[in-house]
Amino acid sequence: MRGYLPPVEVRVPATLGEALTLLAAEPGLWTPLAGGTDLMVVFNAGHLKATRFLDLSRLTELRGIAEDNNLLSFGSLSTYTDLRECRAVHQHFPNLVKSAQVTGALAIQNRGTLGGNIANASPAADTPPSLLAYGAELELVSVLGSRRVAYASFHQGYKQMDLAPDELVAKVLVPKPTGRGFHYFRKVGTRQAQAISKVCLAAYARLEKGCVAELRIGLGSVAPAPVRARAVEQLLLGQPLASLPIEAARLALGSDISPIDDIRATAHYRSVVTGNLLAQMLRELTQA
C-alpha cells in the first residue's frame, strides 16, 4: 500500500451524452471508473498512472438487463449480483451465473461490473470464457454513434482491445441458445472462492440428432487474452456424441493455447489442467 496518494480529479456525468462528450474532447485523458474493484487495487499499489477518472455510476443508460425474443442485453454496469439474481440469465446462460458465483466474494460481486471485467482485459477474468462460449457481441459507444463487435475479436493481445480512447462499452449482447443445449463451466484456482483463475473453461454446444451441431469453447488464463479453442471446436463439429475423439481434442488444444509461467501456475500445469477440463467437459457431453 502506498503512503502518499496523488491528487485525483473525478467527474461524475449525469448522462451518457455528457460522458461521451468529455471522452471525445480529451481522448485518453479520462479513465472510465465503473465499480473500481480493479482500478482501485492498482491505484492503491501506486501502479496506476491515471489521475483523472470518469465515474460511470450515474449513467442509467448503462444499467439493467433487458430481454427480447432473441437475446439478453446486459448494460455494462450490470454487477455479478445482477447476473446471479436475474431469472433469464439462469434460464438461458447458466455458465454466466457460474462465472459470477466464483468471482471474488459478495462485496466484489455487489460492486464489480461485467463491463469492467471485459475492459480490464485480464486474461484471467472469469466472465470472458462464458461470453466467448455464448457468442456474445459488444455494443461500443462514442459521440459518433454506436458499433457492434464480436466479443471473440475484441481482445487483440495482452491488454489490447478493439476499443478507442473515446469509446465506452455500453452493452453486452448475448444471443439466446436455441434447440437442445449443453453448458459447461469450470474455474480452477487455489481455492474454491476468492481466487484468481489458473485455468478457466466454458463451453456451449447445441446438439442435434445425436451429434455436435454447434460448439464454442472459451478459455481463460492460458493465452495473452481470453481465447476460443477454435482447433478443438473444428475437430468436434458434426461428431456423434457417442464417440467423441477426446484424446485427439486434447492434442488439438495445443494449437489453441499459449500458457505461461507466472505466480499462480506454471505453463505445464495450465496445459495439463486445461486438457483435463476439456476431457471432463467432453465426457459430460457424451452423456448429454
Using rule CB under 6 A, residue 13 touches ligand FAD: no
Question: How wide is the angle at C-alpha 61 spanned by C-alphas 52 and 23, nearest 5°?
Answer: 30
Report the site for ligand FAD in 183-212 (rule: CB under 6 A). 196
**Residue 250 CB neighbour total at 10 angstroms:** 18
End-to-end CA distance of the chain: 49
Residue from 19, 89, 112, 270 binding ligand FAD (CB under 6 A)? 112
Q: Which stretch binds ligand FAD (CB under 6 A): 120-128, 211-219, 252-260, 267-275?
A: 120-128
Using rule CB under 6 A, residue 168 touches ligand FAD: yes
Using rule CB under 6 A, residue 32 touches ligand FAD: yes
Residue from 61, 74, 76, 96 binding ligand FAD (CB under 6 A)? 76
Using rule CB under 6 A, residue 36 touches ligand FAD: yes
Using rule CB under 6 A, residue 120 touches ligand FAD: yes
Could you tell me if 55 and 132 are in contact, meaning their C-beta atoms sit under 8 angstroms apart? Answer: no
How many Å apart are CA 267 and CA 285, to the nearest integer? Answer: 27
Smaller CB separation from ligand FAD, 140 or 246: 140
Could you tell me if 77 and 63 are in contact, meaning their C-beta atoms sit under 8 angstroms apart? Answer: yes
Using rule CB under 6 A, residue 108 touches ligand FAD: yes
Spell out a b/e string for 18-51, using b for 16 or more CB atoms within 10 Å of the CB, else e: ebbebbeeeeeebbbbbbbbbbeeebeeeebebe
The three-state secondary structure class of 220 is strand
Q: Which stretch binds ligand FAD (CB under 6 A): 115-123, 178-186, 209-217, 254-262?
A: 115-123
Interface residues toward ligand FAD, by CB under 6 A: 31-39, 41, 56, 76, 103-104, 108, 112-113, 115-117, 119-120, 125-126, 168-169, 196
